[in-house]
Chain A
């Protein structure tokens, strides 16, 4: 289970003052802003939670904080294992999470097998077990053909599969995927969607963000909508559609966003 309570992340950005021009340079002032502000959410075992929002809404920041690679300015991430024990240490928390995003690139000069082996060693998995896991991952993701190729030689779809293999090697309880199907063909993205469904049946938790509304509507148990760092909706896809009186998630999304825009 993964839970966050009142989590916030503050960044500083430069604001350039167009009026106050110094030759060659624009006068800049610094301003703090919240990429994510006071967000709480919870995903239980065996659930798929979809995180939706327009570009720049704070999805990636939220997912980074959930996967413990970014420290929140305020609030805390709470992770419990299958037995319900609380995990305290952020380094140990990472052992329970498989994180994938467009920014998690792989080492080009390694082969898939070498990469998986060295990662497994860091997770503290012994060699016998590693071998077995690599074999089973190969089967699940159909990677036998290119497992010993250097990553720089792989195609986009193959690289994405290798990236997912990396998330699987330590058998995490929680998957956090940031737009995993972005830019993939139908076959590759179907493979990933099916993988998420299968892991849900294995009682794993999946959090993922996407821009494909149909995919989210079909896949997610719960939807979390974020806009300008704030939660604007949270519930099952059905609930959300009913509350906005629409019959598909795409319209729900548009309606909620425009409603928020009017408020501001």
Chain B
């Protein structure tokens, strides 16, 4: 990948985009002209509506004897002083058709007074609720008559009791005190608008341009010209990706400026500033804004890669539009969900794309800085972006975009009869397969976990095993190659035992240190432990010890590693990627940290032994031992490492040294490249990649 080429291509893409005057005009006019117009328009509309409703005169007809009429007329006149209600009263003879009069809008309300056997006559109010004006009038009349009735009641009580003024005194006082600062109040207002606006502006910027640089370029025929140039697939993808991201950020910048300008205008013109915003310090928001900008840059990368992935699968601009519309709806729903009451940022939401970004922006403006959640959202967004970019560059090549051969690396969409024998899945298959696993185990497994507790673990492990195996069967993979089904050497098995002991000691120390310094991490973990304990020893040993050793190995060291090792990727990248995805799959930050170390070790083990049985053994010993430790803790009470949960610096160092010793011995015994016993093994031959 050459920077000069990327720079030149990026310049070309951006020139091409910015010379497309129509897109640019829409891009600039919408936020700078349309938003303020809509905003001011709605402001004007509401204020004029409010004014209209108070100034309007309501026609009320009264049907009564003359003295009753005078009472009602006086009440209606008093309403002007008391409530600013304008009534135009008129007298109505008996026997008129009230409904007709109301329907023809001659009157807004009709009051009929009928004598009763009480002191006062009863009132009948006729209105039309379906008419806006009549309905308002009804409410007003209610107020007027309520006042009159209260007045009468008051007079009655007054005449009966002597200490009336004493009685009506307020029995207690209620004082309201608001601890929110002015900044928090404003922040809440901004916090509700900002996430939606930011996400929409990223989407608006990315969507049009992503279509333009992908299928748009194909349709205009310039893509074929572009690939006659000596550029690699990666260079082309990266420059297109950067161009879309930059344009999305440009759209954000315009929106933000327009929003800020509008805010300043409103602050200066409307009296709002003195009431709500008096003594408001803008500087309080500077950290929020800086963090938001970083987050939005990451988010723009994510959305750009996502859009390009979708658009590259399309054959034409029309098709791309069809694909992106549902995507846009999904993304917008994610953005909108943040304003729902009760949706608060927590660890789980922090992992969900889009929702995490919008929730965090909201929190930032409400001046809530939870460093742990901020870190989780940022890392989750970085991981989402990396996955999207990886998929984009690996799944699509300029050739299959241009000549419309579809997504080559997803093989599942072919009929089984048409599948080639002994094939290796593509990178797209990895994405598709894991999406399936996640979907099924989240929906089915999650539901069962909620309902039946322990059995949920069983089901989700079963799914993790079944999906990759069925997938592989369907596309007729080369099982022996993909799943590294090969008898392991004795040396490698012995080495694995040393590795697992070393790794277990190391992880015990690591976890204790992590929990000591980051207590939040322990919270997610403890709920897990409870569910596991509910199953009993034998069942736990089976579901937590035995099943993952088969299922997770099938999915990760089998399907994932097996596919990647057959691709033209650097070995280190394959090993690290397998480890990180394996760790990320645990969906738990504490586990993510130590499983990454374990995953790296396991990647090395399978790379070295070329047999999946070694890592199965590793996984089996590791998980089973932790189950045994949990249920039969008393067996190990005299071993300090397992009995204690906290270690001193000296102890920690000793344990780490012991762990390293085990790992080194394991390495010496089993390594097939540098180890002293390498020549003894039969697996010295380097596996041919291709």
Contacts and interface: CB of A to CB of B under 8 A. Distances in A.
A109 B225 contact: no
Interface in B1-34: 4-5, 8-9, 11-12, 15-16, 19-20
Given A69-B227, A103-B221, A104-B221, 17 more contacts: A30-B415, A69-B224, A70-B403, A97-B228, A99-B228, A104-B225, A104-B228, A105-B220, A105-B222, A105-B225, A106-B222, A108-B220, A110-B16, A121-B4, A122-B9, A122-B229, A123-B229
Contacts of B418: 30
B684 interface: no
A173 to B, nearest CB: 14
Contacts of A107: 12, 16, 222, 225
Interface in B215-245: 220-222, 224-225, 227-232
23 contacts: A30-B415, A69-B398, A69-B399, A70-B399, A70-B403, A71-B399, A91-B231, A91-B232, A92-B230, A94-B229, A99-B228, A105-B222, A105-B225, A106-B222, A107-B222, A107-B225, A109-B19, A110-B15, A110-B19, A118-B8, A122-B231, A123-B229, A124-B4
B97 interface: no
B165 interface: no
Interface string B81-108: 0000000000000000000000000000
A97 B227 CA distance: 12
Interface in A108-156: 108-110, 114, 118-119, 121-124
Nearest to A32: B418
Interface of B: 4-5, 8-9, 11-12, 15-16, 19-20, 220-222, 224-225, 227-232, 398-399, 402-403, 405, 414-415, 418
Interface residues of A, number: 30
A118 B220 CA distance: 19
Nearest to A95: B230
Contacts of B220: 105, 108
B11 A118 contact: yes
A166 B12 contact: no
Contacts of B225: 104-107, 166
Nearest to B228: A99
A160 interface: no
A87 to B, nearest CB: 11
In this complex, the member of B8, B12, B19, B230 whose beta carbon has the largest number of chain A beta carbons within 10 angstroms is: B230
A47 interface: no
B228 A91 contact: no
Interface in A17-31: 30
Nearest to A89: B230
A122 to B, nearest CB: 5
A94 B399 contact: no
A189 to B, nearest CB: 21
Contacts of B11: 118
A85 interface: no
A94 B228 contact: yes
Interface in A36-87: 67, 69-71
A206 B12 CA distance: 29
Contacts of A105: 220-222, 224-225
A12 interface: yes
The residue in A67, A105, A122, A166 that gathers the most chain B C-beta atoms within 10 A of its C-beta is: A122
A11 interface: yes
Contacts of B224: 69, 101, 103-105
Contacts of B398: 69
A101 to B, nearest CB: 7
Contact of B20 (A11, A92, A109): A109
Contacts of A104: 221, 224-225, 228
A97 B230 CA distance: 10
A97 B8 CA distance: 20
Contacts of B414: 30
Contacts of B16: 107, 109-110
Shortest 7 CB-CB distances between A and B: which pairs?
A105-B221, A109-B19, A94-B230, A104-B225, A121-B8, A99-B228, A95-B230
Nearest to A115: B12
Given A106-B225, A122-B9, A12 B230 contact: no
B423 to A, nearest CB: 14
A119 B222 CA distance: 13
Contact of B228 (A11, A67, A108): A67
Nearest to B16: A109
Contacts of A95: 230
Contacts of B19: 109-110
B5 A122 contact: yes
Of B225, B398, B402, most buried by chain A (CB within 10 Å of CB) is B225
A122 B228 contact: no
A122 B222 contact: no
B230 A91 contact: yes
Contacts of B222: 105-107
B229 A119 contact: yes
B8 A122 contact: yes
A11 B12 CA distance: 32
A62 to B, nearest CB: 14
B219 to A, nearest CB: 10
Interface in A156-198: 166
Nearest to A68: B228
A154 to B, nearest CB: 15
Contacts of B231: 91, 122
Nearest to B220: A105
A166 B224 CA distance: 13
A28 to B, nearest CB: 11
A108 to B, nearest CB: 7
A159 B12 CA distance: 19
A69 B225 CA distance: 10
Contacts of A11: 405
B202 to A, nearest CB: 24
A258 B345 CA distance: 74
Nearest to B21: A109
Contacts of B15: 109-110, 114
Contacts of A12: 405
Contacts of A99: 228
Contacts of B20: 109
